[in-house]
Each structure stands twice: as structure tokens, then as C-alpha cells.
Amino acid sequence: MASLIPETTKKLFTAENLRSASKQSDRCLIVPVRLRRAIKKYLREQEEPHMKKKVLRLSESFRDIKDKNLMLTINTSKELVEDPFKSMDRSKRWKIKSSYGDIGLNYRDDETIAYVASRMPAVFSACYRVLSEVRRRLPGFSPTKILDFGAGTGSAFWAIREVWPKSLQKVNLVEPSQSMQRAGRSLIQDLKDLPLIHSYNSLQDLSKSTHKSERKHDLVFASYVLGRDTIIEGSNYYSAPALGTYRGCFGFD
């Protein structure tokens, strides 16, 4: 049986590596009361009928996209790099266009509501887990200015506030979906002592609206967004060359 295990796998799953991985394990995370209340209040205000069907449809859309990408052949992979939205078109979601090409997929209001109800707690938990590990490894690090790229409804922002509740002073959010932006604003409206928050539809807007010296960030967060030759903003794609034009927004010269 051991002979069937590739050598590379044997090197990865050493006793030392497994011990190290076990130390990173964390208990089941309970979503903070403030976020749970904010989500419940937001959903009550929407009065969206057939919520369960909308949630199932959104989940199926995500699974459909994931399954199709996992089954891509080499030729199809090449096509996806050349046209990242090819597989996305099958989900019948709308593209958002800008002067530098397609930058994302537009969430309709019903899709945003379904996202908040079904996906936001899980995305928050994943973000919180990663940031908690950063805090553990860098105890002296407390970001004051952050950029949330592909902010969606603000899951990462909520997680950052939980991990570093007192240090945040300024937050730049980049999210092309207006529906997602509206939901994010609604969710935080009852929070106190908020940092200065600015929302932008794209990196291009951020670049145009801020001086170069103001584009430096202590922390750049891009949850669920990294692809191979593209960066995916939520369900939204930016090509690597396009991002290179705006790399200063991420804090790089």
C-alpha cells in the first residue's frame, strides 16, 4: 500500500508537518452577536419572498461554476485564461464593464440578499480564522489603514474589526456591485466608533480619487479572490496586466 503513495506526498505528510498543522487548528467559530443581529435586521428589512429558493439557486450557481472549472480540459483552461467569463456566462449573471474591460459580475438585489443569508457568516469565519493567525504570528502588528479588494457585503471588514477592534482608522473598499455595496452599508449602520470608510467601484476609481501618497495600506485583504492568471474579485475578474496598472493601490511602488 505504501508503494502506491507518491514520494511528494510522503514528503508533505511528515510527522513534523502534521504537528505544525495541528497547532493551527482552531475551535468551531461562533459568529459574533453583533454580526448575527445585523444580518437578521437586514434580512427582516428586505421582505424577500422565496428566500430558501434564492439561497439554493445562488449556492447551485457557485457549485456549477466550481464544478465546470474543476473539469476543464487543457484547451478549455486556455480559453478561460483568454476569456475568464466564458464559464460564468452559463450562470446567466451580468457583466460589469469599465474603461479597462470587464471587471466583474453584478449581483441583483435578490442574489445579494441570498448571499448575506447563506454565505456571509461562512466567509466572515474564514476571514477571521486567517486574520487571527496573522495576529498570533505578528503580535506587534495592528493595521490602521486597510484595503478590502472585492469587499462584497463587508465580511472581511467585520473580521478585521473583531481581530483589531481599536487600531483601524481608514478603510478603502473596492466592490463593483452596487447591490453588494448597499448591503454592506446597511449592515454596519448601527455600529459605533467606525473608522473612515470609502467605497469604490473599481481600482481605477480608487486610483483616480486618491493621491499617490494616500494609496499605501497596512493591510490588503482579498478574500476568495485569487486565481491563476487573473485575480477574481468576489465573482469578479481582473487580468494581471490590468492590476499591474493599479499596483500602487495595493501599497507597491
DSSP string over 4-59: GS-HHHHHHS-HHHHHHHHHT--PPPPPPHHHHHHHHHHHHHH--TTHHHHHHHHH
Residue 17 lies inside a defined structural domain of this protein: no
pLDDT at 94: 41
- Which residues in the chain show pLDDT less than 70? 1-13, 17-28, 47-106, 226-253
Residue 176 lies inside a defined structural domain of this protein: yes
Q: What is the pLDDT of residues 132-185, one digit of tens each?
A: 999 999 999 999 999 998 899 999 999 999 999 999 999 999 998 899 999 999
Which 8-state DSSP code applies to residue 226? B
Residue 108 lies inside a defined structural domain of this protein: yes
Residue 237: give the domain boundaries.
Answer: 33-250
pLDDT at 36: 94
Cβ(180)–Cβ(112) below 8 Å: yes
Residue 1 lies inside a defined structural domain of this protein: no
pLDDT at 97: 52
Q: How many domains does the chain have?
A: 1
CB atoms under 10 Å from CB of 169, counted, come to 11
Strands (E), the chain: 94-98, 101-106, 145-149, 170-174, 196-200, 219-221, 230-233, 236-239
Residue 13 lies inside a defined structural domain of this protein: no
Residue 19 lies inside a defined structural domain of this protein: no
CB-count exposure of residue 139 (10 Å: 0-12, 13-18, 19+):
exposed
Half-sphere exposure of 182 (CA within 13 A, CB side): 13
> CA 207, CA 242: separation in Å to the nearest integer?
13
> CA 98, CA 248: separation in Å to the nearest integer?
19
Residue 23 lies inside a defined structural domain of this protein: no
pLDDT at 67: 52
Residue 9 lies inside a defined structural domain of this protein: no
Strands (E), 101-168: 101-106, 145-149
